[in-house]
Amino acid sequence: AQSVSQHNHHVILSEAASLELGCNYSYGGTVNLFWYVQYPGQHLQLLLKYFSGDPLVKGIKGFEAEFIKSKFSFNLRKPSVQWSDTAEYFCAVNKGRSQGNLIFGKGTKLSVKP
């Protein structure tokens, strides 16, 4: 079955540290890839997405992600985190043009210490 793995359950960083959150998926065909963020007590918001083209995708709030097809990975990065980045981050994968089949990872909770 198709699955999405997020390697870290909880990451704790100090402000200005660099961030990389891992995401791997198991589906071998064409995929659409997403990173969502959920701030405490709020709903999910899209950070960035990859459909095709340049594998380095830039999103909102200084986040970026790189799609590496050979590694089935879509890792999220930010060079310098802020306290306001404290949130839970979800990677999600959708098979090709198929709606209704967005598979989420279990999430990574990021805590940034001021």
Rounded to a whole number of angstroms, the minimum distance from the CB of residue 86 to another protein is 17
- Options 18-26, 59-67, 73-81, 98-106: segment touching another protein (CB under 8 A): 98-106
Q: Scan for tokens 């995401």, then name that residue.
A: 23
Q: Which of 29, 40, 53, 100 binds another protein (CB under 8 A)?
A: 100
User: DSSP 3-state assignment of 69?
Assistant: helix
Closest to 61 (Cα-Cα) out of 97, 31, 93, 36: 36
Based on the shown chain and the rule CB under 8 A, indicate whether residue 102 belongs to the binding site for another protein.
Answer: yes
User: DSSP 3-state assignment of 53?
Assistant: coil
User: DSSP 3-state assignment of 66?
Assistant: strand
Binding positions for another protein, rule: CB under 8 A? 32, 34, 36, 42-46, 49, 51, 90, 94, 97, 99-100, 102, 104-107
